[in-house]
Every structure is written in structure tokens, then in C-alpha cells.
Amino acid sequence: MAAVVDACQLGTGFYFQRLIEEPRSSFWPKNCSFQWLSKGFLSKPTVLKSSPLPFHGGMSYVQKKKGFHVLSPNISSPSTAVESLEAWDDEYDGVIINPESLPSSANAFASALRASLSHWKLKGKKGVWLQILEEQSDLVPIAIQEGFNYHHAESGYVMLTYWIPNEPCLLPASPSHQIGVAGFVINDKKQVLVVKEKCPCSCSGLWKLPTGYINKSEDIFDGATREVKEETGVDTIFLEMVAFRHAHLVAFETSDLLFVCMLKPLSYEITIDEKEIQDAKWMPIDELLGQPFYQEDHMSKKAIEICIAAYDNRYSGFIAHQLVSKFDGQLSYLYYDRI
């Protein structure tokens, strides 16, 4: 099942393998009934009551349904209850309000929301999802007044939820983590690709590995190669994930996971991103670790020591295998060691 796609060995004793593995076939239908389930394999579907409907503005109802399994439209027709909100049922006895159908008048919204909640309570519904787009932010205080809670927000919208049953809320918490990546790129002269960031803070001047956050819905290995390319202009491919750090309270109440990725260089010429990077170069590995910072920072030092062990073929991390889960019918990556 797990076949190495490409392998070559450089003269340095470092096995370069493209260890992102592909499945033999997409054997699971994409629109199966598991698609709405939440946490993927081995997951706890009862905890997550939401659907993965991408609710950003500008899409029609048909577009929203595309690729997703909408259980049943729960749309009140104008003749039956003019003041009810348009909504869909989800798979967990909940409802998802259509953010594009919200009345623009605050008063109309307040009465429609109240009427809809009464209706859903009678129907035994549980979680209610209400996305309010930025342009209708005057509806936010009304929803709060009706008993909604903030769930999460991103540029452009805020999501609120309401738990109807008289028992502890089982809706999932808001996302809590950012995912960062660090790229360890080493050439056959044992020189590591390092950057010096434009940084107003006290670590400025330090030569370090290129790092950054992954983009929305981006895979870890793609984020690592993209960040290295953006910051230094060097092309790479992902080999393995050698270690990760889990840190808390890094920004207000959020946490993050930073994955250290071993990347193989495919090009060597450096072109820096002048917005973020002050300088970049290939630096002998002893010189990198010889900086005073690494004598005091045990976390960074250990991570680089592990990378060196992987380079010397004394260590193996996790590689990415693309597999299909029956829970959501999606292809996604399982990271694990060679087995």
C-alpha cells in the first residue's frame, strides 16, 4: 500500500526520498453519506454538530449544495411563516441558518429569529448555527440578546451558535490552533538554508530556519515548501516531518503546533522576500548551531540536532501517506513512520 514514489541517494549519506505517498486509487465515492461527519477516522461524530458547508457570501443555494450532502432543506415558504429564517437541517439534529437570507432590518431579524427558535424547539432541534456576514454586523447584538454565543470568526464573518436542549452543549469548540512549519533544507556541502528576518523584536540578527504558518486547508508539506520558496526563492520537495512542538498561549488564548520538515533542495540560488526577510544564505551547519542563541535555546537546538540525525540517516520521522477515510469520503494525509 505504501510505496515510495521516488528515491535517490546523494553522496553525503543522506537518502532523499519523495515520501509523500499516493493511494493506488480513489476507491471511495466522494459524495457518500459519511461526508458530513466531522473528525475523520476514529473520530467522535456526536461531538461535532456542524456541516462543512462553505458559507461565504456570493454563492447560490445550488452552489452551496455542490459536493455536500444536505440532508433536507428546512426552508419556510413565504406563505406559511413569513417571519421564519431560511435554514437547512444538519445530520446531528441541528439547523444551519442561511446567512444570505437574513433580513436586513434589525427588527425583522429579531422577530424572525425568535419565531424560528420557537419552531425549532418544538421540532426537537439541538444546535443552531448562525453566520453573520460583516456587512450585517448590526444583527450581532440582536443574536447575542436572543441567547446566541460567539463560536468563531474570520475576516468577513462571525459565527454564532445556540444550543436548544436543556443539557450541556455538545457543539464543538472554536478552532484553537494555528499550524506553523519550519523547513530544514541542506545541500550536499552540509550547508543549511537559513534566513535572517526583518523583526523588531529581541531575536533580530539570528540566522534561523525559514518558517511560517500554513494557509487555510493547506497540507503541512505544501506549507513547508511554499514558505521556503517564498522566503528564499529555493525550490524543494518534502521528505519527512521530523518533529513538532506544541505550544500554548502564543497569541491571546490560542495554541500552535510547529512542524519541522526535512526538505530536499531542487535549486540553490537565493532570492529573498524583501517584505519579511532581511537576508538568506547557505550556512555551514556548525556555524548555524554555533550562534549563542542555540546554546541557550534547548528547543531549537534539539530540533536541529534531530534534522542532522535524519540527514546522517540515523533517524526517521513521519512521512505523509494519502488515504481515503470512509468517515468523510475524503482523501487526506496520514503521517507515520516507515513500517
Beta-carbon count within 10 A of 165 CB:
13
From the CB of 80, what's the least distance to a copy of itself, in Å? 26
From the CB of 119, what's the least distance to a copy of itself, in Å? 20
Q: Is 104 exposed, middle or buried (0-12, 13-18, 19+ CB in 10 A)?
A: exposed
From the CB of 74, what's the least distance to a copy of itself, in Å? 16
Determine the interface stretch with a copy of itself among 5-13, 77-85, 109-117, 250-258 (rule: CB under 8 A). 250-258
Out of 212, 226, 237, 273, the only residue in the binding site for a copy of itself (CB under 8 A) is 212
Site for a copy of itself in 137-156 (CB under 8 A): 137-138, 140-141, 144-145, 149-156
Is residue 238 within 8 A of residue 266, CB to CB? The reply is: no
Q: Which of these, 215, 194, 229, 212, lies nearest to 307 by C-alpha position?
A: 194
Site for a copy of itself in 4-23 (CB under 8 A): 23
Longest Cα separation, the chain: 77
Site for a copy of itself in 44-73 (CB under 8 A): 44-48, 50-56
- Phi, psi dihedrals of residue 129, rounded to the nearest 5°: -110, 125
Q: Which of these, 222, 139, 141, lies nearest to 179 by C-alpha position?
A: 222
Q: Residue 65 is placed in which grid cell? A: 449544495
Closer CB to a copy of itself, residue 188 or residue 337?
337
Closer CB to a copy of itself, residue 166 or residue 217?
217
Q: Considering CB under 8 A, how many residues would be counted as binding a copy of itself?
A: 129
The C-alpha atoms of residue 47 and residue 58 are separated, in whole angstroms, by 30
β-bridge mates for residue 172, sequence order: none
From the CB of 242, what's the least distance to a copy of itself, in Å? 7
Kindly tell me the sign of the dihedral angle through the C-alpha atoms of 211, 212, 218, 220.
positive
Q: In whole angstroms, how far apart are CA 48 and each of 92, 209, 312? A: 8, 37, 43
Out of 114, 121, 189, 326, the only residue in the binding site for a copy of itself (CB under 8 A) is 326
From the CB of 77, what's the least distance to a copy of itself, in Å? 26
- For strand 95-97 and strand 127-133, is the pairing parallel, antiparallel, or unpaired? parallel
Determine the interface stretch with a copy of itself among 5-13, 75-83, 108-116, 318-326 (rule: CB under 8 A). 318-326
Q: Residue 36 is placed in which grid cell? A: 458530513
Kindly tell me the sign of the dihedral angle through the C-alpha atoms of 301, 306, 307, 311.
positive
Site for a copy of itself in 182-201 (CB under 8 A): 182, 197-201
The C-alpha atoms of residue 96 and residue 87 are separated, in whole angstroms, by 5
From the CB of 73, what's the least distance to a copy of itself, in Å? 18
From the CB of 299, what's the least distance to a copy of itself, in Å? 4
From the CB of 244, what's the least distance to a copy of itself, in Å? 5
Q: Residue 200 is placed in which grid cell? A: 523588531
Closer CB to a copy of itself, residue 85 or residue 158?
158
Closer CB to a copy of itself, residue 12 or residue 211?
211
Determine the interface stretch with a copy of itself among 5-13, 112-120, 266-274, 289-297 (rule: CB under 8 A). 289-297
99 lies in the site for a copy of itself, by CB under 8 A: no
